[in-house]
Structure 1
Amino acid sequence: MDEFCDTAPCLIFTVKCSVSSCENVSLRQSRIWGPGLKSDFRLPVRYFFVQLVNKDGSNVTTSVGKKIVSALVSPANGDNARIWTEVLDRHDGSFIVRFRLFSSTSDLKVAVTLRGQHIADSPYTITGPVYHETCNCPNQTPDQWATSVGCAVTYNQIRLDLEPFKDINMAKVAREAVERFNNKGHHSICHYKIIDNKIYRKCYGEHVGFKMFMDSILLSLSRKMVLPDTEFFMNLGDWPLEDRLVSTSGPAPLPIFSWCGSKKTRDIIMPTYDITEATLEMMGRVSLDIFSTQANTGPAWENKTSRAFWRGRDSRRERLDLVVMGRQRPELVDAKLTNMFFFPKDEQKYGQLARHISFFDFFKYKYQLNIDGTVAAYRFPYLLSGDAVVMKQDSEYYEHFYGDLEPYVHYWPLKHDLSDLLEIVRWAKKNDATMQEVAKNGQRYARENLDPASIMCYHVRLLQEYTQLLHSKPKFNKGFELVEQPSESNNCKCQKYKKQVHEEL
């Protein structure tokens, strides 16, 4: 069981493993790696990975029992520290070990064991200051932080989104953006400025509550590094805003940041507020995140139900059509509405509303349906990370990572009207090995590209590259509000980093 304590030693996971399930594992050849074993890896949650290896040198590829791996995280000097840790079994011989600090400390000791015996080079020492999430110690440049976290140099979607913008005059952008998008009841936007690593904003529109998501990521980043002085407009709504085409005759598009893009608009796309919050609040107030799905992938592939599965609300006509399809062909499609807000209720046509179930229970089914809601369905990253094939509706909407994905490789495409769904499900049932391979490809992509580091890296790289396009540095204007750091953010001692004991992990 998980233990939460505020004295050292802290946070022990008990290992329960039969001799027969573990006897072929080589402790020495098994591998432990990941950025969470470095002190300058500053994210809300630290994490690293464990891969069990057989004595013949091959990776263990199946689950070998519940809670096979134990992790102990404690200050090396015996000081008290509030830390919460989890060992997540991915049921394929690999594990995620993640831990979140609720107070800063120094020189952590991390022991990872199998049946009480150390794995690989355990125990590890994280030497130097280890800061908790709300600690305000921006002692790195963005490039230093990016190097320590392992960020990509750039992202294709950023390059595409910024291509129309060469010399951004924010005084002009501000006048036009407020004039065009300050429509009460229709649009909500915020003008953000980062000056001397402080966050300021001025919002326009009636419903601006979603500013809290943009506030949170900017505050988190500014506690870790000194962000470049910059300014931008953030769209707080679901729909992308900038519908101007790039042309030589008409007015130029405005650089507007949004959480969702479309083929008809030119907004600059950021990771959605959903996956960003799941990253910031991991092991906090959210239970669904990119790691939790990897540890809750349902039964083994051969024991999953060979039907297409969907649950959700009635935010698009195709969703209603899907439910009707499922009622007509329940042996192929299990689709039910959980809420109705947009269309009239009709139990005779759509059936009774289904009770909400855990997202993890979705993975009892081999085929997961990703159908647009008001815009793109933001569940897509979590569906990819599970052990199932994502059958995705053709859509004009996209998130920041969609351009990396290949149909028939990472997911299985569906026509927009879902008219080919039944045929595809029938085909899938006869071509199980192909479907399983697509499921593994999607899962691999999510593991490597949608982890917490990747989500925060994307924000940092976008701010860096966008800022280079500004005509001039931002200046403070009256009417802008300072976005305050959490009250406890200064209750920590900021230090310079020391050399790591384990440089390569």
Structure 2
Amino acid sequence: MNYNGVLLAFLFLVIKLNGLLCANTTVWGVGLNPVVVLPARYFYVKYNEKITNIKNFNILINGKTKVGNNCRIWTNILDRKDSSFIVRYKLYEICYEFNILVEDTKAHRKHVNNYYKGPIYPDDCSCKKMSISSWLANAECKTDIIQINSDLGQFKQIDFNKAIIKMIRLFQKNPHSISVCQYVVKNNLIFRKCYGDYTGFKLFMDNLLLSLSRKVFLPDMEFFVNLGDWPLSSLQNKMPIFSWCGSNFSADIIMPTYDITESSIENMGRVSLDMLSVQGNIDKTWSKKIQKAFWMGRDSSKHRLHLVDISKSQPHLINASITNFFFYKELKQKYGSGKKPISFFKFFDYKYQINVDGTVAAYRFPYLLVGDSLVFKQESDYYEHFYNELIPWVHYVPIKRNLDNLVELVNVMIESDRTARIISLNGQKYARDNLAPHNILGYYLVLFQKYSRLLVSTIEVREDMEEVKDAIPPEHCDCENSLHFKMEL
């Protein structure tokens, strides 16, 4: 047996899947693998001591165009204030002779020095499509997801011709309060027809499907997307409707919210709040945070108004304020004019965060978890796609629906700072490991893959459907068929 060959193969696998451990530094993440095309690629660097200085690291990501010019690449480093940082980079053209270097200049060690012959494609090029299974494997995404299994387990099979009849009946009963789009994906092309008065949110689903179709071969399928916040499919009348929010009294198939979906596909783009940016924009460490619970937002539920009342009676424990009155304008005089919003990143100047429902689940929950504060989460009938993977008192502190025990629990956590810190770190770790942009795209791919297998009706583009097209491919998208890479230590 060629033991040297086996050892080299093993080392390559360890480096590829888990990053590189060298001296006191670990480097890992999906961005080290150029096969995985993302809006912004990213990887992580962890220095296994309490104190590190990013300035001690030399991070270089570069490449050449086909004609030998330097590739246009935007690199951004986010300090997570825990001896680790995120390196993310965005390609603006096809790159060759691509190199990722992570070097500790103080210790004179190269922790990663990866060379890829190329071509390496930017996200806006529809060049390097692969099967869903290959993409998920390369991105190291999980494929056995509790929420997907539960949602799809409601259906033995789906005949979409029958589903359309049910959906039309529901829409005819509620023509002004329901807005939905019917999508067909056929031969990796996307078509839709929308119903309702408010269909602007179709852009979120359009952009997602277009983004995925540039990366993988989507299965032929047909489905409805609910464009509103409230779930539509009842437990008594189940229909294959995809929704951004679920509830204990509905049977919709749950997707990641439009908010975290958009931030995932616009990463390092026009959206500034995303799961990676939050981690790199927290100023205060745990010991220096303000020892109060914080909340700020719209008046989209009476629970939020009640929270403000509690805050007024306990200002030394809770800082809660309404920024804008829309749902309860008649109470504006009682609560005063809306408070000027602050940057979401400044929320984490406070040691404790409060997550309270709005009209449905509060879609800020992922961002609160990934920050460096302890989250108090209100009991709710509504949920997002990841809620059932969280454990109360492990990842967050649960509070009653009526908030009656909020003050008591804030006091308990103040007195039990070590426990509070452990719970906050557990929640943060879950969000880091499961709610990064590639996890969100991976969730959709697993959902679509498994959903498509339930369809028994013929998938055809239906009458009056409009094709959803990507913009004209940029001039720099001169696709080639192969991608070769090697790794140098």
Q: How does 1:98-497 map to 2 (within 5 A)?
A: 98-115=88-105, 119-181=109-171, 183-245=174-236, 252-346=237-331, 349-488=334-473, 491-497=476-482
Aligned twin of 2:6: none
Q: When the two structures are superposed, what TM-score results if normalisation uses the length of structure 2?
A: 0.91
Aligned-partner residue type, residue 288 of structure 2: N
Q: 1:116 to 1:434 in 2, by over 3 A?
A: closer
Deviates more, 1:494-503 or 1:335-344: 494-503
CA RMSD of aligned residues (A): 1.9
Following TM superposition, by how much is the alpha carbon of 1:452 offset from its aligned partner in structure 2, in angstroms? Answer: 1.0
State the secondary structure of the residue aligned to 2:198. coil
SS at match of 2:112: coil
Q: Quote the offset at 1:104 in angstroms.
A: 1.8
The residue aligned with 2:59 is 71
Residues 153-176 of structure 1, C-alpha deviations (whole Å, 9 max, x = no match): 221100000111112110111122
Tell me the alpha carbon deviations over residues 302-361 of structure 1, each in whole angstroms, 9 at most, x when there is no partner.
111111100001000010011011111100110001000010354663244211101110
Stretch of structure 1 that moved more, 380-389 or 127-136: 127-136
1:49 aligns with 2:40: no
TM-fit CA distance, 1:372: 0.4
Aligned to 1:12: none
Contact persistence 1:324–1:349 (CA under 8 A):
no
Alpha carbons 1:138, 1:222 under 8 Å: kept: no
The Cα of 1:490 is off from its aligned counterpart by 7.2
Distance 2:110 2:400 in 1: 48
Q: Residue 442 and residue 94 in structure 1: after superposition, are their counterparts in 2 closer, same or farther (change >3 A)?
A: same
Q: What do residues 50-69 of structure 1 show as CA deviations (whole Å, max 9, x unaligned)? A: 111xxxxxx1234x346554
Cα distance, 1:477 vs. partner?
A: 1.8
Match for residue 34 of structure 1 among 29, 33, 45: 29
Number of corresponding residues: 466
Residue number in structure 2 paired with 1:8: none
Aligned 8 A contact 2:64 2:95 in 1: no
Question: Secondary structure in 1 aligned to 2:455?
Answer: coil
Which residue of 2 is the match for residue 4 of structure 1? none
1:487 and 1:499 mapped to 2: Cα distance? Answer: 27
- What secondary structure sits across from 2:61 in the alignment? strand
Relative to structure 1, the CA distance from residue 29 to residue 308 in structure 2 (aligned partners, 3 Å threshold; closer, same or farther) is: closer
Q: Which residue in 1 is equivalent to 2:78? A: 88
Question: Structure 1 or 2: larger helix share?
Answer: 2
Identity within the alignment, %: 45
- 2 CA distance for matches of 1:407 and 1:471? 39
Structure 2 gaps, min length 5: 1-20
Deviates more, 1:82-91 or 1:316-325: 82-91
| 1:118–1:236 CA distance, 2 compared to 1 (3 A) | farther
Conserved 8 A contact 1:135-1:490? no
Q: 1:68 to 1:390 in 2, by over 3 A?
A: farther
1:253–1:39 distance in 2 versus 1, CA, 3 Å: same
SS of residue matched to 1:122:
strand
Contact 2:281 2:345 in 1 (8 A): yes
Secondary structure of the equivalent of 1:292? Answer: helix
The separation in 2 between residues aligned to 1:144 and 1:303, in whole angstroms, is 45
* Structure 1 unaligned blocks of 5 or more: 1-25, 53-58, 246-251
CA contact (8 A) 1:140 1:226 kept: yes
| Paired residue secondary structure (1:434) | helix
Quote how far apart the aligned CAs of 1:130 are.
Answer: 1.2
Query: Aligned-pair distance for 1:95?
Result: 1.1
Match of 1:14 in 2: none
Q: Name the CA distance, whole Å, in 1 between partners of 2:334 and 2:170.
A: 41
Deviation for aligned residue 1:146: 1.2
Contact kept? 2:22, 2:111, Cα under 8 Å: no
Partner amino acid, structure 1, of 2:233: E
- What TM-score, normalized by structure 1, do the two folds share? 0.88
